[in-house]
């Protein structure tokens, strides 16, 4: 047993185990929020994180925490609020949806073939390569 400051409210409390980070009050509140999310997911199996936060009032950050710690099954959450950087469609991972990733790739290939100089001037080619990389960077929004 050790005296510890609650990770949420800062109140001093007696931790009975090293994994205990919240005081009794916050822990109970945490549990209630967790149950609320669990219940909501039972009825809305296709809910997105945004919908969950709206319906339960639980912060997105908190839901991420539960998913990270394995308390919430990531498969039960349709998306974690990620969206394609190009079209804004919800995605599960990465930065672009499959369609945009494919389009960006074919775009890059097109630029590559267009910018290839017909005469094999080494200096010219180097310049074209630089511009191409620049164009791809811009498209990806760097």
Return residues touching Zn ion (CB under 5 A).
6, 8-9, 11, 23, 26, 84, 86-87, 89, 97, 100
Cβ nearer to Zn ion, comparing 48 with 115? 48
C-alpha to C-alpha distance for 120 and 34, rounded to whole angstroms: 64
Measured from the CB of residue 16, what is the shortest distance to Zn ion in angstroms? 15
Phi, psi of 115 (to 5 degrees): -85, 0
Cβ nearer to Zn ion, comparing 107 with 125? 107
Measured from the CB of residue 78, what is the shortest distance to Zn ion in angstroms? 17
Looking only at Cα atoms, what is the longest distance across the chain?
77
C-alpha to C-alpha distance for 140 and 70, rounded to whole angstroms: 32
Measured from the CB of residue 99, what is the shortest distance to Zn ion in angstroms? 6
- C-alpha of 70 from chain center: 16
Cβ nearer to Zn ion, comparing 63 with 97? 97
Place of tokens 């009975």: 16
Measured from the CB of residue 48, what is the shortest distance to Zn ion in angstroms? 16
Cβ nearer to Zn ion, comparing 8 with 36? 8
C-alpha to C-alpha distance for 95 and 82, rounded to whole angstroms: 8
């Amino acid at each position: 047993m050790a005296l510890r400051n609650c990770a949420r409210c800062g109140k001093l409390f007696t931790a009975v185990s090293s994994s205990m980070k919240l005081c009794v009050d916050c822990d109970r509140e945490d549990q209630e929020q967790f149950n609320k999310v669990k219940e909501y997911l039972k009825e809305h199996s296709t809910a997105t994180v945004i919908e969950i936060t709206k319906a339960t009032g639980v912060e997105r950050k908190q839901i991420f925490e539960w998913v990270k710690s394995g308390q919430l099954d990531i498969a039960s959450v349709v998306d974690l609020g990620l969206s394609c950087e190009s079209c804004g469609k919800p995605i599960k991972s990465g930065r672009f949806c499959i369609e945009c990733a494919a389009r960006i790739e074919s775009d890059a290939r097109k630029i590559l073939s267009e910018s290839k100089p017909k005469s094999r001037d080494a200096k010219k080619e180097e310049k074209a390569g630089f511009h191409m990389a620049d164009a791809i960077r811009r498209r990806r929004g760097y």
